[in-house]
Structure 1
Amino acid sequence: MTAVTLETRNLTKTFGALMATTDVSFRLEKGARHALIGPNGAGKTTFINLLTGVLKPSDGSVMLEGKDITALRREGRVQRGLVRTFQINQLFAGLNVVESLALVINEREGQGWRWLKPAFDAPGIDDEIAGLLSDFGLDSVFDQPCSALPYGKQRLLEIALAVACRPKVLLLDEPAAGVPEADRKEVMSRLAALPADVSILLIEHDMDLVFNFANRISVLVAGALFAEGSVEEISKDQRVKQVYLGGAAHA
């Protein structure tokens, strides 16, 4: 039986009379490449915010590796290995690529105060940075300010920063959004090359990317889990086609 890394049980969030998510029970298996799809307003962002601690649920729970993290703050979840990227890049505009990676790695190690020391002299940090630069195709822009990078490189850097946190679960919120077509394949190929033991939950509207990346898909509609299955099962599900794939998939 495959181990479950992340799980929600009857997760519910209300805003007054509005039910943003309703009794969502979801399981992310260890090493999964799992996509979360649904029409606009389906509650996908609310669900991710509940997973990451941005929002507190009205009911239900979130479990990471079998431990209840429902009451844990955002930073505590990151420290335990639950890491996300954002639909709109969240980068350190005043730093360059290497400085950004050094800051995240040292913060991860509880030594954020030393990130700007010459040669980044914390043991092994230079090798780790070099590996991340290579893995995400950032070698040629290592000394450029984050704000000056082409948008595709900014996306790759944001993912590299998330990986520098050593995630057990990586939540990717539309990683290809806004990326020029010529760079989209590189972003997705770098994601496909991530370590197999990192469990990935991908939110994405581009169904070609979803079908090429994911091995399992969950469909959220009106805040509730509407369908779940393999790529083949979801692509053939007539109910999913009617509410999402038939017309709204590329909206």
Structure 2
Amino acid sequence: MAAALETRGLVKRFGGLVATDNVTFRLEQGARHALIGPNGAGKTTLINLLTGVLAPTSGQIFLDGVDVTQMPPERRVQRGLARTFQINQLFPAMTPLETIGLAVSERMGGGRDWWRVTGSKREIVDEIVEIAQRFRLTDVLDERTSNLAYGKQRLLEIAVAFACRPRVLLLDEPAAGVPEAERHELLATVAALPRDVSVLLIEHDMDLVFSFADRISVLVNGALFAEGTIEEVSTDPRVRAVYLGENVDE
């Protein structure tokens, strides 16, 4: 079976700087995979390559076995690749109802008439309700997004990505900036994502990583430094030295 998402020899150079260094990576179908690494490791650059925001200097990217290296971002979304961002990209004046409705309607071809299409098609309304329930947003559906607690805003951003019906979902530090009191709701929701969606989690919060992932890849200086199960990576002395800052003898 083809990997849900795969890179082969992926390189990105900015002049003399090598931001992504020959990364060969495989995200299995249905995986719960975390990508970790110190600041400046190149995690966001790698995500931007996977989603088509940046073009690689060399190497290839495959989505469900199809080479998407030259595909623009919107085509990758149409083929089932969705992402969230470190800083949310939501419309502050819109409500969660409107935001999810726009995402669902756009996927169904509603375009600029999304508000009319949303109200006239029962399947869109049903899907909005299902997504709102899944992401614990039913109690705030009619509130302005700018008024939501930050944890709810992060849940809404994941909900919008989920509304694209992705087969691969890239979560870029979903817990960043979320207060401790709101983190449990986010953790539980992320953990409950359906298994037919393969998830790559980029995260600094190790509690989230350990509660979610069954496999971890460590990126250092743009290159894959280590990979394995939670136990293998967390007990690897090289990872502890580089990522956790511990002085561990080789």
TM-score (norm: length of structure 2): 0.96
CA contact (8 A) 1:102 1:120 kept: no
Q: Are residue 178 (structure 1) and residue 203 (structure 2) matched?
A: no
RMSD: 1.4
CA distance in 1, matches of 2:118, 2:20: 47
Q: Deviations over 1:145-193 (max 9, x none)?
A: 1111110110111011110000100000110111110111110110111
Aligned counterpart, 1:84? 83
Count of residues in correspondence between the two structures: 247
Q: Deviations over 1:112-140 (max 9, x none)?
A: 23311176212401110111111111111
Aligned counterpart, 2:21? 22
Aligned counterpart, 2:73? 74
1:16–1:150: structure 2 CA closer, same or farther, 3 Å change rule? same
Gaps of 5+ in 2: none
Aligned counterpart, 1:62? 61
CA distance in 2, matches of 1:156, 1:27: 26
Give runs of aligned pairs for residues 84-233 of structure 1, distance below 5 A: 84-117=83-116, 120-233=119-232
1:205–1:121: structure 2 CA closer, same or farther, 3 Å change rule? same
**Partner SS state of residue 116, structure 1:** helix
Q: Deviations over 1:9-67 (max 9, x none)?
A: 00000000000011100000011000000011100010000000000000001000000
1:247–1:87: structure 2 CA closer, same or farther, 3 Å change rule? farther
Counterpart of 1:244, as a letter, is Y
1:21–1:118: structure 2 CA closer, same or farther, 3 Å change rule? closer
CA distance in 2, matches of 1:221, 1:71: 26
1:227–1:105: structure 2 CA closer, same or farther, 3 Å change rule? same
1:118–1:23: structure 2 CA closer, same or farther, 3 Å change rule? closer
CA distance in 2, matches of 1:132, 1:209: 22
CA distance in 2, matches of 1:142, 1:208: 29
Counterpart of 1:221, as a letter, is V
CA distance in 2, matches of 1:110, 1:127: 17
Compare 162-171 and 111-120 and name the one that shifted more. 111-120
Compare 20-29 and 206-215 and name the one that shifted more. 206-215
CA distance in 2, matches of 1:8, 1:15: 19
Gaps of 5+ in 1: none
Compare 116-125 and 39-48 and name the one that shifted more. 116-125
CA distance in 2, matches of 1:119, 1:62: 35
1:21–1:99: structure 2 CA closer, same or farther, 3 Å change rule? same
1:15–1:212: structure 2 CA closer, same or farther, 3 Å change rule? same
Give runs of aligned pairs for residues 39-54 of structure 1, distance below 5 A: 39-54=38-53
Aligned counterpart, 2:11? 12
Identity between Structure 1 and Structure 2 (%) = 62
TM-score (norm: length of structure 1): 0.95
Compare 129-138 and 117-126 and name the one that shifted more. 117-126
